[in-house]
Amino acid sequence: MVRFAYTLFTMLLISSSANSMSYASQVSGLYNAILKHEGSDFYQFAKITLRTVNPEGQMKISANVRVFFGEANSSEYLTYDFDEVPLNILTRQLAIRSEGNDVSMIGFLNGDVIEGEWFSTLMGRVGTFKAQKSGFPAVEEGAVLVEALSGHYRGSLENTNPDSNLPEKVSVSFVSTQDNSEPEKPKLHISGNTRFYLGSFDSLEYVEIEFNDIQFNFYNRFLTAKTSEYGFTFKGTMTVDGQFEGELFSDGLGNVGIVNLDKVLSRNSPSE
């Protein structure tokens, strides 16, 4: 009887210690996250870094969030800094949000795991997320990764202007890099080019033109790409699975055609 009581006491003590340990983990650290898009099978990788300080006995939390497009080692990501992240000590709710940022997260901290919802200023509630310190959470079967913009796209151009006789085969390439000239405010820089093929895609009969101005909204997926010569501008929407649907404009003729492109090659360079 005494031995049974001792064994039971030991088991309860171990169980109590394990539960205490789940809540005793440090708040600060790197949390690897999966961001889900509600109403679809799409997901993204993210990294949430929480930092803590304790001036005058009052803990304060700040955060840095990186939202990736493509794989978790992609150089194509957006960075957001949050100077103050309120923590409800009763419920352990974290509010990662700021008026100056396009992304916000509301979640609950349980040991080394944060779970909650994420939002964008353009779309409102995007979906749910789970973040943890020990690697990335498991991805559900059938889930589809949001494609990076970086890559090579091929497709068709349909001339809709009677004065336009552009080749009907066209490709575009984009490369995303991180501009760290201002370490406190890293920016995503996009460069690229387009090719108009007079022969097949495998031939050397094409004219290549660099883009000198590329603007891409990663949340509503609207893309504008202007060429350095001929005055061409691509305008349209890039879907999360890598399809471009839009129009081609010319400075001289206005709207000259309809463009449809599919992604055929990814160009994701690892982040530094």
DSSP conformational letter for 97: -
Q: Which domains are seen in the chain, by residue range?
A: 2-144 (2.40.128.120), 147-266 (2.40.128.620)
CB atoms near residue 14 (< 10 Å): 10
Under DSSP, is residue 219 helix (H, G, I), strand (E, B) or coil?
coil
β-strands 144-145, 42-53 pairing: parallel
Q: Tell me the C-alpha distance between 260 and 234, whole Å.
A: 11
Please indicate whether residue 11 or residue 138 has the higher confidence score (pLDDT): 138
Under DSSP, is residue 56 helix (H, G, I), strand (E, B) or coil?
helix
Burial class (CB in 10 A: 0-12, 13-18, 19+), 53: exposed
**Res 188: pLDDT:** 85
In this prediction, residue 55 has a pLDDT band, given cuts at 50, 70 and 90, of confident
Residue 7 in this model has a pLDDT that exceeds 70: no
Task: Enter the tokens of residue 97.
Answer: 């949000």
Q: Tell me the C-alpha distance between 112 and 131, whole Å.
A: 8
**Using one digit for the tens of pLDDT, what is the confidence trace for 175-212?**
988 876 666 666 788 999 999 999 999 999 999 999 99
**Res 100: pLDDT:** 85
User: What percentage of the chain carries pLDDT values higher than 70?
Assistant: 86
For the residues 20-44, what does the mean pLDDT come to?
84
Residue 244 in this model has a pLDDT that exceeds 80: yes
Distances (CA, A) of 52 to 1, 63, 112, 229: 49, 9, 15, 51
- Name beta bridge partners: 35: 44, 129
Task: Enter the tokens of residue 53.
Answer: 């300080």
Q: Are 92 and 109 in contact (CB under 8 A)?
A: yes
In this prediction, residue 24 has a pLDDT band, given cuts at 50, 70 and 90, of low
**Using one digit for the tens of pLDDT, what is the confidence trace for 170-185?**
999 999 888 766 666 6
**Res 15: pLDDT:** 45
- Name beta bridge partners: 255: 249
